[in-house]
Amino acid sequence: MSARARLDWVYPEELDIATAYWWSPDSTSVAYLEMDQRKVSQFSLLNFESYTGEAELQRYPVPSGTNPIVHVYVVSAAGGAPRRMNTGSNSGIYLARVNWVPDSKHLAIQRINREQNQLDLLLADASNGTASTLLTEKDSSWINVNDDLRFLKDSKRFLWASERTGYRHLYLCDVGGKQSAQLTKGDWEVSQVEAVDEAKNTVYFTAAEKSPIERQLYRVSLDGSGFSRITKEAGTHGIRFSPTSAAYVDTYSNAMTPPRRDTFAADGSKLATLEEDKVPELSEYHLSPVEFFTIKSHDGLDTQLFDDQASELRSGEKNIR
CA 191 to chain centre: 8
Is residue 8, in this structure, part of any structural domain at all?
no
The 3-state DSSP class for residue 283 equals: helix
What is the domain range of residue 298? 289-321
Mean per-residue pLDDT of the chain = 91
Is residue 308, in this structure, part of any structural domain at all?
yes
| Sheet architecture: strand order including 179-182 | 150-151, 157-162, 169-174, 179-182
Quote the CA–CA distance of 100 and 111 in Å, as a whole number: 15
* pLDDT attached to residue 306: 58
- Count of structural domains, the chain: 1
Give the number of other Cβ atoms within 10 Å of residue 32's Cβ: 19
Quote the CA–CA distance of 59 and 218 in Å, as a whole number: 43
Is residue 312, in this structure, part of any structural domain at all?
yes
Quote the CA–CA distance of 48 and 13 in Å, as a whole number: 21
Quote the CA–CA distance of 131 and 35 in Å, as a whole number: 20
pLDDT in tens, 252-289: 999 888 999 999 999 999 999 999 988 888 778 888 88
The 3-state DSSP class for residue 199 equals: helix
Is residue 296, in this structure, part of any structural domain at all?
yes
pLDDT in tens, 138-171: 999 999 999 999 999 999 999 999 999 999 999 9
Helix/strand number for the chain, H first, E second: 2, 25
